[in-house]
Amino acid sequence: MKILHYIPSIDEASGGVGAYMQLLTRDLGKLCELHVVTHKSDNERTLENCSVHYIDYKWKPWDNCKQEFMALLREIHPDVFHTNCCWMPVSALTAMWAKKAGYKVVYTPHGMLEPYAISRHYWTKKLPAILLFQRKGIQVADMVHATADTEKNNLMKLGWNRNISVIANCVRIDEIEMKSSWKRRKKVLFLSRVHPKKGIDFLIMAVSQMKKELGGYTFIIAGPGEDGYVLELKRLAKKEGVDSMFEFIGPVYAKDKWPLYREADLFVLPTWSENFGIVVPEALASGTPVITTVGTPWHVLDKAGCGWCTEIGAEPTARALRKFLACSDDELEQMGRNGRRLVEERYTSEAVAKQFLNMYESLINRKYHE
């Protein structure tokens, strides 16, 4: 079986989507002949067990991009073409080009069609993109891949395509070392893109309500972000009198992030919306309890005894922080071990790769019976 993936970028700065592709290729590439087509960038991740191809970054159908993509498609002749991401024209256009050429197409939006994502810059950016290419790109797909039931439900409400398969994202559990001590270091970690969607302002406001209770704690904000927005958050922290409690350390990649997870007493992702949020299972696998929101698919945290899934906002975040402060070191250890067990049981990359293979096989078999 031959599979060809398109992804706009595998750069370290591409965040969760690039990490997803890096994890997926390691194990999916052992089960099939796997190819990935993308565009050149300065700080690329290394993808294993696949062949990586590059095409022109220009997106207009009459430019080099289409010619190079179609030549690659004919050369590889995959059984399934699988495109990733939304709002970047090439993601949708490659789906349309491959479909017109007679190939089976899978489309993974990666949460980019969630209500919050669509609502941002709706009139100026999203609506024009929907009318020009994005809706059509989803409509032509033989299968749309969602990473959680909540994302599937929102895609169904859009009504663009009702053939939706749910396969969660994954982690390489064997490469993630769990912490050996849960004695409080008074460190709380946020690690993701520094972006308005991520709710860092809620965290700052929550901490401002709990200055005395959180005395001595440091909140580490790790991740890439636009300088202007980082400055805006720093100003907010200063205005609220908690700037000394926050440390913005910028992007952290690859092996450098794992000590941060292990050394943190708590991981917080107070986001508006995530289709999966790969940083959550990374933190759990490291043995660190998590606070996140109902904007993610991680509603299981409370039931699994490894964290708190709250409503969105500063007040709910503050309530969860108080619950964390009330835990003993022994309770935090039990939560950490519960989180590790949850990831081991549900989110290993080997299991997820097999689910993708089964999805591809079902599409191929459907093709032969049509």
DSSP class per residue in 111-167:
TTTSHHHHHTTIIIIIHHHIIIIIHHHHHT-SEEEESSHHHHHHHHHHTS---EEE-
Q: Do residue 19 and residue 153 come from a single domain?
A: yes
Q: How confident is the model at residue 268 (pLDDT cuts 50, 70, 90)?
A: very high
The pLDDT assigned to 174 comes to 85
Q: With the CA atoms of 218, 279, 263 and 173 taken in that order, what torsion angle do they form, in degrees rounded to the nearest 10?
A: 170
For residues 232 and 350, which has the higher predicted lDDT (pLDDT)? 232
CB 85 within 8 A of CB 52: no
User: 40: domain CATH number?
Assistant: 3.40.50.2000
Q: Do residue 310 and residue 341 come from a single domain?
A: yes
pLDDT tens column, 172-212: 888 899 999 999 999 999 999 999 999 999 999 999 999 99
Torsion sign, CA atoms 281, 21, 224, 123: negative
pLDDT tens column, 2-39: 999 999 999 988 777 888 899 899 999 999 999 999 99
* pLDDT of 42 strictly over 70: yes
Q: What is the mean pLDDT of residues 310-328?
A: 98
* pLDDT of 59 strictly over 60: no
**Strand, helix or coil at 53?**
strand
The number of angstroms, rounded, from the C-alpha of 346 to the middle of its chain's C-alpha atoms is 16
Q: Do residue 20 and residue 154 come from a single domain?
A: yes
Q: Do residue 209 and residue 353 come from a single domain?
A: no
* pLDDT of 244 strictly over 80: yes
The pLDDT assigned to 14 comes to 76
Q: Do residue 16 and residue 46 come from a single domain?
A: yes
Strands (DSSP E) along the chain, which ranges? 2-6, 33-38, 51-54, 80-84, 104-108, 143-146, 164-166, 187-191, 218-222, 246-250, 266-269, 290-293, 307-310
Q: Which amino acid is at 276?
A: F
CB 20 within 8 A of CB 51: no
The pLDDT assigned to 275 comes to 80
The pLDDT assigned to 19 comes to 86
Q: Do residue 144 and residue 67 come from a single domain?
A: yes
pTM, two decimals, is 0.79
Provide the terminal-to-terminal Cα distance of the chain, rounded to the nearest Å.
19
Enclosing domain of residue 77: 2-170+348-369
Give dist(CA 290, CA 182) in Å, integer: 14
Number of separate domains in the chain: 2
Q: Do residue 196 and residue 255 come from a single domain?
A: yes
The pLDDT assigned to 12 comes to 86
Q: Do residue 302 and residue 218 come from a single domain?
A: yes
Q: Do residue 190 and residue 140 come from a single domain?
A: no
Residue percentage of the chain with pLDDT more than 70: 97
